[in-house]
Each structure stands twice: as C-alpha cells, then as structure tokens.
Structure 1
Amino acid sequence: MVVTTQRTEARYGLGELLTATAAGDREAFTEFYRATRHRVFGLAVRIVRSPTMAEEISQEVYLQAWISAHRYDDTRSAPMTWLMMLTHRRAVDLVRSEQASTDRDSTYGASDFQPGHDTVIEQIDQKLDHQSVRDNLAKLTALERESIALAYYGDRTYREVADLLGIPLPTVKSRIRCGLKQLERRLCDN
C-alpha cells in the first residue's frame, strides 16, 4: 500500500508541475525535467541505440513538452505516460527517417551504378585475343610452340621444359625467345 501511495503522489506531483508549466512556470518545468530526464533519455537510447541521438531526442521531447503542456489531459494518461509517448514517437520517427534515408541512398546507388566498362565486350575481346594467340601459336615451329606452351600454359620453369623435351637449357631459352618475338609480330600485324 505504501508503494501505491508513493506512485500516486509522484504522478500527482508531476501533474501539478505540468499544469504549472502550461501556465509558463519555468521553475516547475525545471523540476519536471529533473524528475523525468533519466527515463526519457533511457527510452530514447533503447530505441535509437545512440546516446548522441538520444540526447537530441530528449531535447526535442522537452521542447515539445514545454510548448504543448497546456494540451496535457490528466484524464487520459499519467504525466509520465504522456512524456514517454512523446519520447517514443520522436525516437521511432527518427529511426524511420534514418532507415528511409539509408534505403533511398541504397536504391539510388544501385540504380545509378554503372560499371566502368562493358563486361560483355571485355569478355568477347578476351576470347578473341585468346583465339588469335592460339592461331598464331599454331604457325610457330613445333619446338617453339611446345616450349612456349609448357612454360606459359603448363606453368613450368625453363629448366623443367628443357628436362621434359630432353634438350639443353640454352636451346629452350632461345626457342622460347624466338617464338615469342614471332608471336608478338604476328599479333601486332592483326
């Protein structure tokens, strides 16, 4: 029973402070603020998850409470309930506004995105380049073609190519060098 009495007195005290605030009493508003600020801030933080944004919401809520204190109706809700409703609305509005802004940015970014190049043309060019290299490789001597294929497509060292083909290392190096020069000339002519 004692707890109920204290709650009733606290609500009645806040109600009187709100009534005095509606009449323009700054001291009553200061007391109202001091009695309720922790709960307003706590609710705002729980909703927006940012202390900085919760502070802004709290300021807006108390400004709204100062301006609209004359509209408070004690028959509809307790002062703290009314204040929490103002806080909740303000915080949810901010969250929705932030989400809408993020969604707009994402939508705009996705719709406005243009790749720096045409990937289809790039793939076609790459296939044509590969085909041209293959065609021109076929025009090299067998030793040049095989040495280049083992070294560049087989991912082998010149020493490994020489061992696989059973020829001296200097011969492999000169065949690959000559083959690459011929390949370069033919590709540049195309």
Structure 2
Amino acid sequence: MPTSTDSDQLSALLRATAAGDRVAFEALYARTSAKLFGVCLRILGQPGEAEEALQDAYLAVWRKAERFDAALASPITWLAMVARNKAIDRLRADRVGRASTAIDLQAELADENPNAAALAEADAEGRRLRRCIDELPNEQRNAVRTAFFEGCTYEELAARSGHPLGTVKSWIRRGLLRLKACLER
C-alpha cells in the first residue's frame, strides 16, 4: 500500500507531467507501470492487449495530467482508473468487432541496468535489424517501418499509401518473412 510520501511524490510527478516535464513523466512511468500493467492484464487477459491498453493509458495521462485532483483520489487510484478505463475501452472494441486489425509487435523489455555486454549485443542487433530492413524493397520497408515504429494499423497504412488493404497486408507479411530470413542468417 502506498505511503503518504509515495502519494506526495506521485502527486508531484503528476503536477510536473501536467506542466510538460518529460523527465517527471518518465519517472512516473517507471514507478507505476508495473502496477498499471497488472490492472490492464487482469481485465484483458492477454499480455499484448494489456501492453496496448497501458500505452493508451499513459498517452491519456500525458495529455490529461492537469485533470488529476488530489482532493478526489490518490495518484495511484487516479492512474489505475485511467488504465482500467483504457483496458475496458479495448475490451469493448474487441467485443463489437474492431474495424481495424492492430499489428501486434511483442517488444522485449529492456533490463533497467544493462551491463556493457548487453549494451554491445543490443547495439549489434540494432545494426543488424537496420541492415535487414534496408535490404527490403521500398514498399515493404516503408510499410514495416510505419506499422511497427509508428504503430499504424493495416487500414491506416492503406489509407496513407492509397493502396488496397490486401496489398498493404501482403507488403508487411512479405517484409516480415524477409526480415526473419535475413536475421536468421
């Protein structure tokens, strides 16, 4: 259970976030993301969906931190409510049949304190991934980058590019297959 000091510190981080302080937002995320992920996971039951809901929750916190009122709720209660609402929104969207198919990318969580060997390995893997992405044909490269680095759905990519949905899905599928083959070499 959070102590009064924890609550005061989280309140201060929320006030700083409301003022646009990115460092405070990062600190808020570091201190609360595990708990909020648990809230999302309990509601959604799938880690990938819970991660998406958690991301939506923190985007909402960044945009609406000024709405936090310590007189109405503790900071962790307010944050949990935001996460819960985003998870329920995602659950409802799935129940009514989501119009767009989200592209799921499971990212590995980085160690908070990576050692030099881990940093060197991550850098080498990053270079290898960039090299493999650069080897893709232009349409596949652009589709994969936009989907995974900007978080666009297939439908959004099709609308942006002016190409049919099936074409965009094919580009991404073929691009991912080529990336896999390249990374396995």
What's the TM-score, normalizing by structure 1?
0.50
Corresponding residue for 1:70?
66
Among 72, 75, 96, the alignment partner of 1:100 is 96
Letter in 1 for 2:79: L
Please state if 1:29 is matched with 2:25: yes
Which whole-Å CA distance do the structure 2 matches of 1:83 and 1:51 have between them? 19
> What secondary structure sits across from 1:97 in the alignment?
helix
1:42 and 2:38 aligned: yes
- Residue identity opposite 1:36 in structure 2: T
Which SS does the other structure have where 1:56 is aligned? helix
Q: Distance in 1 between matches of 2:3 and 2:63?
A: 26
- What is the rounded CA distance, in whole Å, between the counterparts of 2:88 and 2:55 in structure 1? 15
Aligned equivalent of 1:55:
51
- Provide, for residues 110-148 of structure 1, a one-character-per-residue CA deviation record: whole Å limited to 9, x for no partner: xxxxxxxxxxxxxxxxxxxxxxxxxxxxxxxxxxxxxxx
Aligned residue for 2:71, secondary structure, equals coil
Runs of 4+, deviation exceeding 3 Å = none
- Residue in 2 that maps onto 1:182: none
Max radius of gyration: which structure? 1
**Larger helix fraction of residues:** 1
Counterparts of 1:25 and 1:94 in 2: how far apart (Å)?
Answer: 28
The letter of the residue matching 1:44 is: C
The CA RMSD over aligned residues, in Å, is: 1.5
TM-fit CA distance, 1:94: 1.2
Q: How does 1:152-167 map to 2 (within 5 A)?
A: none
Structure 1 stretches lacking a partner, 5+ long:
103-190
* Paired letter, 1:90: K
Alignment of 1:130-169 (within 5 A): none
- For residues 24 and 100 of structure 1, the distance between their equivalents in structure 2, rounded to whole angstroms, comes to 35
Instruction: Output the CA distance in 2 between the equivalents of 1:100 and 1:60.
Output: 19
Q: Which runs of 5+ in 2 are unaligned?
A: 99-185
TM-score normalized by structure 2?
A: 0.51
Tell me if 1:83 matches 2:79.
yes
Partner of 2:144: none
